[in-house]
Amino acid sequence: MSPRPDAPFKDDLDLSLQRAMNMLVRGAKNRRSPFHTPIFATQGGVFGVDARTVVLRAFDPITRQIRIHSDARTHKNAHVAEKSNGVFVFYDPGARIQLRAYGPCDIHIAGAIADAAWAESQHFSRRCYMAPDAPGSDASNPTSGLPADVEARVPTEEETLIGRPHFSVMLLTITSLDWLFLAHDGHRRARFTWNSDGACDQNWLVP
């Protein structure tokens, strides 16, 4: 790890939190940001835990809500329906910052939140939800799971509607954030926790 000048946030909890929030906001908007594709871990399944890569669709620094889209029939949705707590892990190698964002998740399948996200989504993205069988179902052949006639093209608006019942928005509200900054002369780690009134408790940890 090569030496580099100290980051202004290195020894400042408020600035570290500000930096974390900014990276999440920018990660949702910028497809090239490493924060755009975090790992999302849930409790459930054969091993009691599972984790997978997802796309960060939005982050609201006021509500502290992370938004992803998922097929309502997936294992992750079943896990969250049973045990709502999950964690997102983000790492930006250029910034040398890892975030672990913990909190309860809500799933929206019908209703205004899912409708708005569906309305904003591209037809090509909607195609993922057009598979007749649930993601993770056994298949007797190598398959995309999609109806054969839409495999090689973007479906029309009308065709995508078959996927709407499978589309869900998942929101995780961060109640605890673990911050890790890797630095040549000593790493820094901090924990930020929010109570139900939204008050934030912050403290340094030994990395």
Q: Check the CA dihedral 179-98-32-146 and report its sign.
A: negative
Gyration radius of the chain over CA positions: 19
Q: If binding is defined by CB under 6 A, does position 52 make contact with ligand FMN?
A: yes
For residue 37, state whether it binds ligand FMN (rule: CB under 6 A).
yes
Q: Which of 23, 24, 41, 68 binds ligand FMN (CB under 6 A)?
A: 68
Smallest separation (angstroms) from ligand FMN to the CB of 23: 18
Pick from 50, 60, 92, 159: which binds ligand FMN (CB under 6 A)? 50
Q: In this complex, which beta carbon is closest to ligand FMN, that of residue 64 or of residue 75?
A: 75
Contact call for residues 176 and 103 (beta carbons, < 8 A): yes
69 binds ligand FMN (CB under 6 A): yes
Name the segment binding ligand FMN (CB under 6 A); options: 64-72, 88-96, 97-105, 113-121.
Answer: 64-72
Q: What residues have CB less than 8 Å from 182, skipping those under 6 apart? A: 1, 96, 97, 98
User: Where does this chain touch ligand FMN (CB under 6 A) — which range of 63-71, 92-100, 183-191, 192-200?
Assistant: 63-71
Please identify, among the stretches 53-61, 80-88, 115-123, 197-205, the one whose residues bind ligand FMN according to the rule CB under 6 A.
53-61
In whole angstroms, how close is the CB of 110 to ligand FMN at the nearest point? 18
State which H helix or E strand residue 92 sits in. strand 85-92
Q: Are 34 and 92 in contact (CB under 8 A)?
A: yes
Whole-angstrom distance, CA of residue 29 vs CA of residue 11: 28
Q: Which is nearer to ligand FMN, 5 or 47 (CB)?
A: 47
Q: Is 127 in the site for ligand FMN (CB under 6 A)?
A: no
Instruction: Rule CB under 6 A: choose which of 104, 135, 145, 147 binds ligand FMN.
Output: 135
Residues of this chain, 70-109, that bind ligand FMN according to CB under 6 A: 70-71, 74-76
Pairing label, strands 65-71, 167-173: antiparallel
**Dist CA 190 CA 188 (whole Å):** 7
Cβ nearer to ligand FMN, comparing 120 with 197: 120
DSSP structural state of residue 129: G
Distances (CA, A) of 204 to 47, 85, 98, 145, 179: 32, 24, 15, 47, 9
Q: What residue ranges bind ligand FMN (CB under 6 A)?
A: 37, 50, 52-55, 68-71, 74-76, 135-136
